Copies of this chain bind each other. A is one copy, B any other.
Amino acid sequence: MRIELINTGSELLLGYTVNTHANYIAGQLAERGLRLCRQTTVGDDRQEMRDAVAAALDRSDIILITGGLGPTSDDFTRDVVAELLGRQLIHHPAIAESIRDRFRRRNRQMPESVLIQALVPAGATVLENINGTAPGLFLEHAGKQIYLLPGPPRELKPMFEKLNLPRRDRLDCRVFKVARLPESIVEETVAPVLKDLPALELGYCARMGEVEVRVLGDNLDEAERRIRAALGDNIFGVAGDRLEEVVLKMMAGKTLAVAESCTGGYIAHRLTNVSGSSAVFLTGYVTYANESKMRLLGVREETLKTHGAVSEATCREMAEGARRQADYALATTGIAGPTGGTADKPVGLVFIGLATPTQTVVERHVFTFDRETFKQVVSQYALDALRRELLRS
Bound together, the chains give a CA A269 to CA B272 distance in angstroms of 12
A17 to chain B: closest CB distance in Å?
Answer: 6
Partner of A264 from the list B36, B72, B272 (CB cut-off 8 Å) is: B272
Say if the beta carbon of A266 comes within 8 Å of chain B. yes
Number of A residues with CB within 8 Å of any CB on chain B: 107
Q: CB-CB < 8 A to A188: which residues of B?
A: 111, 113
Judge whether A289 is part of the interface by a CB distance below 8 angstroms.
yes
Residues in B whose Cβ lies below 8 Å from that of A337: 275
CB-based contact B372/A273 at 8 Å: yes
Given contacts A55-B55, A188-B111, A269-B375, contact A26 B35 (CB under 8 A): no
Which residues of chain A from 173 to 193 have a CB within 8 Å of any chain B CB? 173, 175, 183-184, 187-188, 191
Which residues 188-247 of A have a CB within 8 angstroms of B? 188, 191, 201-208, 212, 214, 239
Q: Which residue of B lies closest to A7 (CB)?
A: B39
Contact, CB under 8 Å: B184 / A114: yes
Nearest chain B residue, comparing its CB with the CB of A379: B269
B13–A39 CB distance below 8 A: yes
The CA-CA distance from A111 to B22 in the complex, in Å, is 35
Q: Min CB distance, A133 to chain B, in Å? A: 8
Given contacts A14-B27, A15-B23, contact A283 B287 (CB under 8 A): yes
Name the segment of A40-48, A118-126, A300-308, A385-393 touching the other chain: A40-48
Q: Is the CB of A13 within 8 A of B41?
A: no
A37 interfacial by beta-carbon distance below 8 Å: yes
Tell me how far the C-beta of A363 lies from the nearest C-beta in chain B, rounded to whole angstroms.
17
- State the CA gap A287–B13 with chains docked (Å): 40
How many Å lie between the Cα of A376 and that of B145 in the bound state? 35
B16 close to A18 (CB less than 8 A): no
- What's the number of copies of this chain in the assembled complex? 2
CA distance A392 to B203 in the complex (A): 55
- Closest residue to A239 on the B side, CB-wise? B16
From the candidates B11, B113, B288, name the one contacting A283 in the complex (CB within 8 A): B288
A70: Cβ under 8 A from any B Cβ: yes
Indicate whether A271 sits within 8 Å of B281 (C-beta atoms), given known contacts A29-B15, A111-B184.
no
Q: Which of B73, B114, B276, B375 contacts A202 (CB 8 A)?
A: B73
Q: Are B74 and A201 in contact (CB under 8 A)?
A: yes
Residue of B nearest to A22 (CB): B19
Determine whether the beta carbon of B11 is less than 8 Å from that of A36: no
| A296 beta carbon closer than 8 Å to chain B | yes
| A136 interface contact, C-beta 8 A | no
A23 and B17 form a contact (CB under 8 A): yes
The answer to whether the Cβ of A98 comes within 8 Å of any Cβ in the partner chain is no
- Cβ contacts under 8 Å, A269 to chain B: 264-266, 268-269, 375
Tell me the complex Cα distance, A30–B289, Å.
39
A127 close to B (CB within 8 Å) = no
Bits for A43-69, please: 1 = Cβ < 8 Å to B, else 0: 111001001100100010000000000
Interface residues in A148-178 (C-beta closer than 8 Å to B): 152-154, 171, 173, 175
Q: Does A140 reach chain B (CB closer than 8 Å)?
A: no
Q: Which B residues touch A284, using CB under 8 A?
A: 260, 264-265, 268, 284-286, 288
Bound Cα distance A10, B39 (Å): 11
Q: A13-B37, A154-B370, A278-B289 are in contact. List 4 more A-B contacts (CB 8 A).
A: A9-B205, A38-B40, A71-B187, A265-B265
Cross-chain pairs A/B with CB under 8 angstroms, 10 sampled: A10-B203, A15-B28, A35-B43, A38-B52, A44-B203, A72-B187, A111-B184, A265-B269, A272-B286, A296-B296
Interface pairs A-B: 5 shortest CB-CB: A264-B272, A15-B27, A284-B286, A265-B268, A265-B265
